[in-house]
Chain A
Amino acid sequence: MSADVPERDPLLDELAAAFELHDPAPDGLAERALQSVHAALEADDLDLELELLVLLDRSTELAGTRAGAGPVTLQFAADELQLLLRVTPVDAGRCRVDAWLTPEEGWSVTAVQGRRHTPAVVAAPGRFEFPDLARGATRLVVTATGTDVRLLGTSPFDL
């Protein structure tokens, strides 16, 4: 669609400046918007108060390798739900994560890193993949498929 968009006419920049001069945003509008944004974010944070999947175990698969060099497995659990993660380094800043969930059916999984949400790829019933995630503080949120209701989330952990 953008292929046939003509070059920007310099007069449009003059126009933008004229609108800025003669009908600018009211004083304080950005600050009022910021207050609303912060209030909304706090509400969103409350929304993230979900039932915790607790980290039960974290282990390096290859004993004797230096930290961060080999695959790491992490095991989380809450009630009947079990989540197993296998983290494989791709390079210094990225990694691959394979996840197994039991019971197998009816879940979708999202990685939350800061404000970035990355949905997992479903590989098979109960098996999810994140082929390329940034390293750093991460939470996985487990949702019943087909709904936006966040049901469970891991405690934050480092990839």
Chain B
Amino acid sequence: MAVHEPAAAPPTTGAPSSRATWDQAAALCRRWLDGDDVALDGLVRLMTPVLWHVGRACSLSEQEAEDVVQTTWAAFVRSGDRLRDPQAVGGWLTTTARREAWRVSRAGGRASLTEDDVLDRVAPPQASAESEAVAHDEDDRLWGAVRALDQRCQTLLRIVAFADRPDYAGIAADLGMPVGSIGPTRMRCLRKLRALLDERSER
């Protein structure tokens, strides 16, 4: 089967975490279930970056994260047509990716929440053009603050940032944390991030 023309790519704007993205994923899934094969191409293009971030959040290498993306889509092809509610497709995909990412992470013997290895694998901030210096300063300030967070906070915030409605029970089970502690941990991590941002803006 030929790969369809780029016209099938969804016209997304903004970060792939926005509510519009999730609604668009649901609409594409619905069209696919109704027999529109091109809609599946749109869904894959739309959600692949989100699945990438889920894998990377779990301390996976680039190759491992790519494998998680592929495994997630293979699972979707096998059982996505049994989705009762197309509106839930975003949650289904990210949950499947998260579980697979944790499985790979554990199989690799990584205690992913205590090691800081993911930071070394993340690409360094790119050099900014003079004319974009101010915007990049803001980006760099945020990125620097993110990198200063402990691994647990980075993992949790990255997963939550790319989720529409975070599946706290599932995340808690994966992280080996009590369900009730996820919300407070998330708030503590965001507070820490804000404090780091404030520190940096005062410099």
Q: Which of B73, B126, B165, B167 has the most CB of A within 10 A?
A: B73
- Which of B80, B158, B194 lies in contact with A11, CB distance below 8 A? B194
Q: Tell me the interface secondary structure of chain B in the complex.
A: helix
- Which of A4, A24, A137 lies in contact with B49, CB distance below 8 A? A24
Contacts of A26 in B (CB 8 A): 52, 62, 66
Q: Which residue of A lies closest to B124 (CB)?
A: A22
| B25 interfacial by beta-carbon distance below 8 Å | no
| B15 interfacial by beta-carbon distance below 8 Å | yes
Q: How far is the CB of B5 from chain A (nearest CB, A)?
A: 12
- Which of B49, B70, B80, B193 lies in contact with A36, CB distance below 8 A? B70
CB atoms of A2 and B165 under 8 A apart: yes
Q: How far is the CB of B11 from chain A (nearest CB, A)?
A: 15
CB atoms of A12 and B157 under 8 A apart: yes
Contacts of B70 in A (CB 8 A): 32-33, 36
Q: Which among A37-45, A56-64, A98-106 touches the partner chain? A: A37-45
User: Beta-carbon contacts of B14-38 to A below 8 Å, as 1s and 0s?
Assistant: 1111100000000000001111110
- Which of A20, A29, A32, A35 lies in contact with B16, CB distance below 8 A? A20
Contact flag A33-B82 (CB < 8 Å), given A17-B15, A24-B49: no
Contacts of B167 in A (CB 8 A): 1
CB atoms of B143 and A114 under 8 A apart: no
Q: Tell me the interface secondary structure of chain A in the complex.
A: helix
Contacts of B169 in A (CB 8 A): 1
How many B residues have CB within 8 A of the partner chain? 57
CB atoms of B34 and A113 under 8 A apart: yes
The complex places the Cα of A103 from the Cα of B66 at a distance, in Å, of 48
CB atoms of A15 and B157 under 8 A apart: yes
Contacts of B143 in A (CB 8 A): 18, 21-22
User: Beta-carbon contacts of B168-187 to A below 8 Å, as 1s and 0s?
Assistant: 11000000000000010001
Contact flag A44-B162 (CB < 8 Å), given A20-B49, A34-B45, A116-B33: no
CB atoms of A5 and B34 under 8 A apart: no
Q: How far is the CB of B128 from chain A (nearest CB, A)?
A: 11
The complex places the Cα of A26 from the Cα of B48 at a distance, in Å, of 10
The complex places the Cα of A44 from the Cα of B169 at a distance, in Å, of 33
How many A residues have CB within 8 A of the partner chain? 44
Contacts of B82 in A (CB 8 A): 117
CB atoms of A117 and B162 under 8 A apart: no
Contacts of B142 in A (CB 8 A): 14-15, 18
Q: How far is the CB of B200 from chain A (nearest CB, A)?
A: 13
Contacts of A36 in B (CB 8 A): 70, 73-74
A residues neighboring B (CB under 8 Å)? 1-2, 4-6, 9, 11-26, 29-38, 40-42, 44, 113-117, 134, 136-137
**Can you offer 11 A-B residue contacts whose CB atoms are under 8 A?**
A21-B139, A23-B53, A26-B52, A26-B62, A26-B66, A33-B69, A35-B3, A37-B40, A37-B76, A41-B77, A114-B33
B residues neighboring A (CB under 8 Å)? 1, 3, 14-18, 32-37, 40-41, 44-45, 48-49, 52-53, 56, 62, 66, 69-70, 73-74, 76-78, 80-82, 122-123, 125-126, 139, 142-143, 146, 157-158, 160-162, 165-169, 183, 187, 190, 193-194
* 9 other A-B residue contacts (CB within 8 Å) besides A21-B139, A30-B48, A36-B73: A15-B161, A16-B53, A16-B161, A18-B146, A23-B53, A25-B52, A26-B66, A34-B44, A41-B1
